[in-house]
Chain A
Amino acid sequence: MIESLTSLAIGFNIALQPQNLLYCLIGVTMGTLVGVLPGIGPTATIALLLPATFKLSPISAIIMLSGICYGAMYGGSTTSILLNIPGEASSVVTCLDGYQMARKGRPGPALGISAFASFIAGTVSIFGLILLAPTLADFALKFGPPEYFALMVMGLAVVAYLARKSMAKALMMAVFGVILGCIGLDPITATPRFTFGVLELADGIGIAPVVMGLFGIAEVLENLGVLRKAKVFAGKIKGLFPNREDWRRAIGPIARGSLLGFLLGLLPGVGAIVPQFLSYALEKRLSRHPERFGTGEIEGVAAPEACNNAAVGGTFIPLLSLGIPSNAMTAILLGALMIYGLTPGPLLIKNSPDLFWGVIASMYIGNIMLLILNLPLIPMWVSILKIPYSYLSSFIILFCLIGAYSLNNNTADIYIAVVFSLVGLLMKKFAFEPAPLVLAFVLGPLLETALRRSLILSDGSFLIFIQRPISAVFILFAFFVLVVPLFSKLRLARGLSEED
Chain B
Amino acid sequence: MKKTKTTAANAVALFWVAVGVLVCYGATRLGLGSVTEPGSGFIFFWSGLILVLLSLVALAESLRGSEEGIPQIGEMNWVKITLVLLSLLLYAFFLERLGFVITTFVLLSFLLGLIEGTNWARAFGVASAAVLGSFAIFELWLKIRLPKGIFGF
**Residues of A with Cβ closer than 8 Å to B?**
51-52, 55, 165-166, 168-169, 171-172, 175-176, 178-179, 182, 186, 188-189, 191, 193-194, 217, 220-222, 224-225, 390-391, 393-395, 397-399, 401-402, 405-406, 409, 411, 414-415, 418, 421-422, 425, 429-431, 444, 447-448, 451-452, 455-456, 459-462
Indicate if the CB atoms of A411 and B26 lie closer than 8 Å. Answer: no
When the two chains form the complex, which single residue of A168, A182, A186, A429 contacts B72, counting CB atoms closer than 8 Å?
Answer: A429
When the two chains form the complex, which single residue of A193, A222, A444 contacts B30, counting CB atoms closer than 8 Å?
Answer: A193
Given contacts A52-B138, A175-B50, A193-B44, A430 and B12 within 8 Å (CB-CB) = yes
Indicate if the CB atoms of A193 and B40 lie closer than 8 Å. Answer: yes
When the two chains form the complex, which single residue of A220, A448, A461 contacts B43, counting CB atoms closer than 8 Å?
Answer: A448
Indicate if the CB atoms of A175 and B54 lie closer than 8 Å. Answer: yes
Indicate if the CB atoms of B43 and A390 lie closer than 8 Å. Answer: no
Query: Shortest CB–CB separation between residue B152 and chain A, in angstroms?
Result: 17
Indicate if the CB atoms of B112 and A168 lie closer than 8 Å. Answer: no
Indicate if the CB atoms of B51 and A176 lie closer than 8 Å. Answer: yes
Indicate if the CB atoms of B38 and A165 lie closer than 8 Å. Answer: no
Indicate if the CB atoms of A402 and B9 lie closer than 8 Å. Answer: no
Given contacts A52-B138, A176-B51, A225-B77, A397 and B71 within 8 Å (CB-CB) = no
When the two chains form the complex, which single residue of B95, B108, B111 contacts A411, counting CB atoms closer than 8 Å?
Answer: B95
Query: Shortest CB–CB separation between residue A392 and chain B, in angstroms?
Result: 10
- Sorted nearest first, the 9 A-B pairs with minimum C-beta distance are A390-B116, A225-B77, A460-B35, A460-B36, A414-B92, A166-B68, A52-B142, A168-B57, A186-B40
Indicate if the CB atoms of A456 and B42 lie closer than 8 Å. Answer: no
Query: Can you sample 23 A-B contacts with CB below 8 Å?
Result: A51-B144, A166-B69, A172-B16, A172-B54, A175-B54, A178-B47, A182-B44, A193-B44, A224-B81, A225-B80, A390-B112, A390-B118, A406-B146, A411-B95, A425-B81, A429-B71, A429-B73, A452-B38, A452-B43, A455-B38, A460-B35, A460-B36, A460-B37
Indicate if the CB atoms of B91 and A414 lie closer than 8 Å. Answer: yes
Query: Shortest CB–CB separation between residue B131 and chain A, in angstroms?
Result: 9
The distance in angstroms between the C-alpha atoms of A1 and B117, with both chains bound, is 61
The distance in angstroms between the C-alpha atoms of A12 and B43, with both chains bound, is 44
Chain A residue with minimal CB distance to B104? A398
Query: Shortest CB–CB separation between residue A87 and chain B, in angstroms?
Result: 21
**Residues of B with Cβ closer than 8 Å to A?**
8-9, 12, 16, 19, 23, 26, 30-31, 34-44, 47-48, 50-51, 54-55, 57-58, 61, 66, 68-73, 75-77, 80-81, 84-85, 88-89, 91-93, 95-96, 104, 107-108, 111-112, 115-118, 126, 130, 134, 138, 142-147
Q: Which residues of A contact B8 (CB under 8 A)?
A: 430
Query: Shortest CB–CB separation between residue B105 and chain A, in angstroms?
Result: 11
When the two chains form the complex, which single residue of B26, B58, B126 contacts A391, counting CB atoms closer than 8 Å?
Answer: B126
When the two chains form the complex, which single residue of B23, B43, B70, B81 contacts A451, counting CB atoms closer than 8 Å?
Answer: B43
The distance in angstroms between the C-alpha atoms of A455 and B19, with both chains bound, is 27
Indicate if the CB atoms of B142 and A193 lie closer than 8 Å. Answer: no
Q: Which residues of A contact B147 (CB under 8 A)?
A: 405, 409
The distance in angstroms between the C-alpha atoms of A138 and B97, with both chains bound, is 52
The distance in angstroms between the C-alpha atoms of A235 and B117, with both chains bound, is 31
Query: Shortest CB–CB separation between residue A299 and chain B, in angstroms?
Result: 31
Q: Which residues of B contact A191 (CB under 8 A)?
A: 30-31, 40
The distance in angstroms between the C-alpha atoms of A126 and B23, with both chains bound, is 43
The distance in angstroms between the C-alpha atoms of A334 and B4, with both chains bound, is 42
The distance in angstroms between the C-alpha atoms of A459 and B38, with both chains bound, is 11
Indicate if the CB atoms of A224 and B84 lie closer than 8 Å. Answer: yes
Indicate if the CB atoms of A224 and B80 lie closer than 8 Å. Answer: yes
Indicate if the CB atoms of B70 and A431 lie closer than 8 Å. Answer: yes
Indicate if the CB atoms of B112 and A406 lie closer than 8 Å. Answer: no
Q: Which residues of A contact B72 (CB under 8 A)?
A: 429
Q: Which residues of A contact B91 (CB under 8 A)?
A: 401, 414
Query: Shortest CB–CB separation between residue B73 and chain A, in angstroms?
Result: 5
The distance in angstroms between the C-alpha atoms of A425 and B71, with both chains bound, is 12
The distance in angstroms between the C-alpha atoms of A179 and B43, with both chains bound, is 8
The distance in angstroms between the C-alpha atoms of A33 and B150, with both chains bound, is 36
Chain A residue with minimal CB distance to B110? A394
Indicate if the CB atoms of A172 and B51 lie closer than 8 Å. Answer: yes
Given contacts A398-B104, A409-B145, A429 and B76 within 8 Å (CB-CB) = yes
The distance in angstroms between the C-alpha atoms of A425 and B30, with both chains bound, is 31
When the two chains form the complex, which single residue of A176, A395, A406 contacts B130, counting CB atoms closer than 8 Å?
Answer: A395
Indicate if the CB atoms of B111 and A397 lie closer than 8 Å. Answer: yes
Chain A residue with minimal CB distance to B59? A168
Indicate if the CB atoms of B51 and A179 lie closer than 8 Å. Answer: yes
Chain B residue with minimal CB distance to A190? B40
Query: Shortest CB–CB separation between residue A352 and chain B, in angstroms?
Result: 24
The distance in angstroms between the C-alpha atoms of A459 and B39, with both chains bound, is 14
The distance in angstroms between the C-alpha atoms of A425 and B88, with both chains bound, is 15
The distance in angstroms between the C-alpha atoms of A411 and B73, with both chains bound, is 30
Indicate if the CB atoms of B43 and A178 lie closer than 8 Å. Answer: yes
Chain B residue with minimal CB distance to A171? B54
Query: Shortest CB–CB separation between residue B12 and chain A, in angstroms?
Result: 5
The distance in angstroms between the C-alpha atoms of A175 and B48, with both chains bound, is 8
Indicate if the CB atoms of A398 and B92 lie closer than 8 Å. Answer: no
Indicate if the CB atoms of B36 and A179 lie closer than 8 Å. Answer: no
Q: Which residues of B contact A399 (CB under 8 A)?
A: 134
Indicate if the CB atoms of B9 and A430 lie closer than 8 Å. Answer: yes
The distance in angstroms between the C-alpha atoms of A176 and B37, with both chains bound, is 24
Given contacts A406-B138, A414-B92, A430-B9, A166 and B61 within 8 Å (CB-CB) = yes
Indicate if the CB atoms of B130 and A394 lie closer than 8 Å. Answer: yes
Query: Shortest CB–CB separation between residue B127 and chain A, in angstroms?
Result: 8
Q: Which residues of B contact A165 (CB under 8 A)?
A: 68
When the two chains form the complex, which single residue of A178, A221, A421, A430 contacts B71, counting CB atoms closer than 8 Å?
Answer: A430
Of the listed residues B38, B72, B146, B147, the one surrounded by the most CB atoms of chain A closer than 10 A to its CB is B38
